[in-house]
Amino acid sequence: MADKEDREPLEHAANEEGENTNAGAEEEDTGAEVAPIVRLDAVAVSTGEENEEILIDLKAKLYRFDKDGNQWKERGIGQVKLLKHKETKKIRLVMRQSKTLKICANHTVLPSITLQEHQGSDKTWIWHASDFAEGELKEELFCIRFGSVENAQAFKNAFVDAQKEISGPPDGDESAEKVGELLENLKVADKEASKTKGEEFDEKPEEPSEKKEAATDGD
């Protein structure tokens, strides 16, 4: 009986030691990297602005006028940009919400658009435009508010400059050069004609035939 009682504590201690060893083995970190089962390829995100030059980029809050509710509704807070296409040279206004990047304004800048102060505020502008933010053209009345007078004025200046740029004749400089060349060629041609036919300009113009006949009858 004594031998049995002596063996029980030893066996119990051995079992506890074995359990601790197994637990330690399970918790041991070998440092091996486990490869993911599914590999995801990187996807390029396109905003549609890759071929456009940023003319201005400012933070603002945009509103649209709800005709049904007869009230202003917030479209979002984000970055408003004027973008000029590198090939077509067209300029558009684009604004995205800061958190979701959802487009809240997207329309072409036209010479007919007029920016006006809203209720005398020098930080706010309102204007009408055919907007395409929701996937179809829709006439909207927008109101945009900036955090400072400087940003509001910078936006208007950039907008007006964009209108002047698109309202001018296409290739204006090149056309002016061509007109200048044509005028210069005409001057040279006139000088050469004057040298070769100078005697013709010295002679008096012939009188009309009716006057000649009248003079003959008078004699």
| E-strand stretches of the chain | 52-66, 71-85, 91-97, 103-108, 116-118, 121-131, 138-146
Sign of CA dihedral 45, 47, 48, 53: negative
pLDDT of residue 217: 55
Q: Alpha-carbon dihedral of residues 23, 25, 27, 31, nearest 10 degrees? A: 180
The top-level CATH class assigned to 52-167 is mainly beta
Answer whether residue 30 shows pLDDT above 90. no
Write out pLDDT tens, residues 106-157.
Answer: 999 999 999 999 988 999 999 999 999 999 999 999 999 999 999 999 999 9
pLDDT of residue 203: 43
- Using CA atoms, how far apart are residues 86 and 48, in angstroms rounded to an integer? 13
Q: How many CB atoms lie within 10 A of CB 104?
A: 23
Write out pLDDT tens, residues 145-198.
Answer: 999 999 999 999 999 999 999 987 655 444 455 545 655 555 544 555 445 444
Asked if residue 105 lies in contact with residue 137, where contact means CB atoms within 8 angstroms, the answer is no
SS3 of 51, please?
coil
Q: Which residues contact 161 (CB under 8 A, 6 or more apart)?
A: 55
Answer whether residue 83 shows pLDDT above 90. yes
Q: Where are the chain's structural domains?
A: 52-167
- Start-to-end CA distance of the chain, whole Å, equals 179
